[in-house]
Structure 1
Amino acid sequence: MKRQFGAGIALGILGTVLAAVAIWIVVVYTGAYNVAASERHTDAVRWTLDTAMRRSVSSRAGGVEIPRDPPEDLLATGAGLYAGSCAHCHGAPGGEPEEWSRGMRPEPPRLAEAATEWMPEEIHWIVANGIRMSAMPAFGAHHTPEELVALTAFVDALPGLTPEDYAALTGTGGESAGAAPVPAGDAPARP
């Protein structure tokens, strides 16, 4: 009797897995899921992608030393990198992201608020490796380790910065504190 019960459970699990795979194949091959960026993800897809991303980042982050009280020159370097590469999509203190970035799915988070949800080591991992299917690029191959640390330190400090702080760090001196790039002379040199 126990043997038949166990076999029934095993067949039930196998049947469920096969049905799920069949549904997945039908959805993929029929184009039933709308992949248009003009439409928001369904709640189930948004939850799945967000949860997978957060768990993946937290399990891989670490192994890098991020200063807990970074010096202003490190923050200024990070601010310059942020202004030139990140503010377009994520916005900045006192500035909105570029309008075109609002059409991305998932929509890039406003880092002045969202950075509080991440540990500095996780921010570093995201900056260095990017996030698939989100338009978040991997900066690790194009930035030095020092630049990655500077950018991480800046993003970690971003929630506490005022528009005036941001303008001072980027050298914009009261100009647009949003997605305006830093003048070329202010960006750190690349090796």
Structure 2
Amino acid sequence: MKNSVSWKSALLGALAAVVLLLLVALIVVVTGAYNVAATDRHAPLVGWALDTTMQNSVESRAADLPAPVAFTPEMIAAGAGEYKAMCEHCHGGVGAGRAGWAKLMRPHPPALAEAASEWEPAEVFWIVNHGIKMSGMPAFGATHDEQTIWNIAGFVKMLPEMSAAEYAAYGSGSGNASHGHEGGSSSHDH
């Protein structure tokens, strides 16, 4: 009988703790107690939870995407124009910094010249295609066809191996590359 009572007490205690945590979370949400200002860093636990969730989410959703066997020089060159027109202002490039306003974003957009080596090509494709909620990373899949997004992914994957001179040699962004791209390579072949 004593074991039955202690088991029930432990279960009730755990249930009470969960209810209390949910109540505290609800109070934080309803009162706006958590500071969402981009000028204020996330608490370490919140930052870890958001980053880990994003990485695991992308990894699991991109796992079955069929990536090209190799990225051709033509794909990389085409991706360079799109990247420089749409991505460089937030992510920078090899020897090219990000726009001043992008340095104030929370979370900080990763410097892809270093961070791209941590992602598989299919994961980069998935991120460019679908974007990342509450990060400022838009979804380009609705305005760009799959080939264009693979070109961008190919260029991004090459960034860690590029010198500043190689990066600069790709020239500036192409005239067709824009956030609201309506023509050219955007055929919506998803």
Report the TM-score, using the length of structure 2 for normalisation.
0.88
Cα deviation code 1:13-66 (max 9, x no counterpart): 211110101111121122211111111111111111101111111111133333
SS of aligned partner of 1:184: coil
Give the Cα separation in 2 of the matches to 1:150 and 1:158: 13
Give the Cα separation in 1 of the matches to 2:136 and 2:23: 30
Hey, what does 1:142 align to over in structure 2? Answer: 143
Tell me, yes or no, if structure 1 residue 182 matches structure 2 residue 183. no
Question: Percent identity between the aligned chains?
Answer: 41
Which residues of structure 1 form unaligned runs of 5+? 173-180
1:2-151 → structure 2 map (5 Å cutoff): 2-151=3-152
Which residues of structure 2 form unaligned runs of 5+? none
Name the count of aligned residue pairs. Answer: 181
Does the Cα contact within 8 Å between 1:66 and 1:152 map onto a contact in 2? Answer: no
Distance 1:125 1:185, change over 3 A: closer
Give the Cα separation in 2 of the matches to 1:151 and 1:102: 22
Does the Cα contact within 8 Å between 2:94 and 2:113 map onto a contact in 1? Answer: yes
State the 4+ residue runs in structure 1 displaced beyond 6 angstroms: 185-188
Cα deviation code 1:64-106 (max 9, x no counterpart): 3333532110000111110010001000111100000011100
Distance 1:26 1:162, change over 3 A: same
CA RMSD of aligned residues (A): 1.8
Report the TM-score, using the length of structure 1 for normalisation.
0.88
How far did residue 150 of structure 1 move? 0.8
